[in-house]
Amino acid sequence: MLGNTFGRIFRVTTCGESYAGGFRKELPIPEQLFGGLMAIVDGVPPGIKLTADMIQHELDKRKPGQTPLDSPRLEKDKTFIFSGVMEDQLTTGAPVGIVIPNNDIQDIHIQQYRDYKDEIRPGHAEYGFFKKYGDRGDWVGAGRASGRETAGRVAGGAVAKAVLDKMGIDVIAYTVESNGIKAETPVSYATAKENYRKNAINCPDLAAAEKMEADVMRIKEEGDTAAGVVELIIKNAPAGLGEPVFDKISAMLAHGLCSIGAIKGIEFGAGFQHATMLGSQSNDEAYVDEETGRVRFKTNNCGGILGGISNGEEIRVKCVVKATPTVSVPQHTVNMKEMKDVVLEPITRRDPSLLPRIYPVIEAMARCSILDAIYMAEGYWKVSNIDEKWLKV
């Protein structure tokens, strides 16, 4: 299996599966070593304060079983740092290694997956797994295609956050739409910060959040699941990140965000609304900020990115999050072993909506992307001999 590393200079490599350890519980080893998720983070500068609690804080945002809107799976997601940090809890410059053991890997749940392991679950990755790995692929809880895989990403993103915090760069994501119920927009950065995580679905419009949550619970009772939209703001990212051709900062962000399994579409700034705007309407007019002497823009239809390069305004991205594919509604599919049509009605645990738990994953991938872009930009500026006056406008 390829493609388990993200980034060029700031690099996050993950491994582990949804039910890793479920078949090693009888071995004479500590419970924490049965299986789980791991992340190795390269490119961490020395002298950065990094504790397990800092990583745990981010992981707790996506931990299941916290509200009725979550999967009832009760993973503790306990974090352990095993390398790259020494005395005074400061990074050494060596790779940071992180372990997140699985603990909710009960035989009863493994058997539920075994009962239909040869059947393609609609909306899941089984067919692709059969094509790539035959009958040896991980069939328990979708393996690497499971949402559980994202715990490793969040751990890596927490390391990136520790570095970005020192630069004053903030990343925040929140729900703006659930099953057609929309928050009042645009959402300002101040409002997003003020109402961050004040409700289970993490919507800064508190009145809309109540409607969203009630709607998701209704859908849950029907055995179905709901989709929605998460918005992302990157605050204080410097201008000049990204390259004008293949490595646009928008392309780097898209790579990270679209690598999340449930993301089915993204848009930057005004996004698809550009299709209804004249050029004079979509263009963001520039002006000189008298207080700072820097160039600013009167509007932000571009989402903080022009020509593939950040312009110093807020980077804004919206991500379409599909509904959880596991539903209790009978659906037609194929038994791959017998090559015949069947009807599937799975009884495994699931999130009625991914919105309450996916926003920290979006934040994590954005942080990794932005920090990687900063490393590349800073390296280029150091050797380009560009007149420093252009770095100050």
Digit-coded pLDDT (tens) for 125-180: 999 999 999 988 888 988 899 999 999 999 999 999 999 999 999 999 999 999 99
Contact 40, 97 (CB under 8 A): yes
Number of domains within the chain: 1
Q: What is the CATH number of the domain that holds 234?
A: 3.60.150.10
Residue entry with tokens 């993301």: 263
Please return the burial class of 172, using the count of CB atoms within 10 Å of its CB with bins 0-12, 13-18 and 19+: buried
Binning pLDDT at 50, 70 and 90, where does residue 188 land?
very high
Asked if pLDDT for residue 347 goes beyond 80, the answer is: no
- Helix 249-258 vs helix 355-384: angle between axes, to the nearest 10 degrees? 150
> What is the pLDDT of the chain when averaged over all its residues?
94
CB neighbourhood size of 124 (10 A): 18
Interatomic CA distance for residues 225 and 227, integer angstroms? 7
Q: What are phi and psi of 90, to 5 degrees?
A: -110, 140
pLDDT in tens, 44-59: 999 999 999 999 999 9
Residues in contact with 299: Cβ distance below 8 Å, sequence separation at least 6, in sequence order: 284, 285
176: helix, strand or coil: strand
Domain interval for residue 231: 5-391
The Cα 54–Cα 291 span in angstroms is 35
| Phi and psi torsions of 80, nearest 5° | -130, 130
Element at 340 (helix H, strand E): strand 340-344
Size of the chain in residues: 393
Q: Is the pLDDT of residue 348 over 80?
A: no
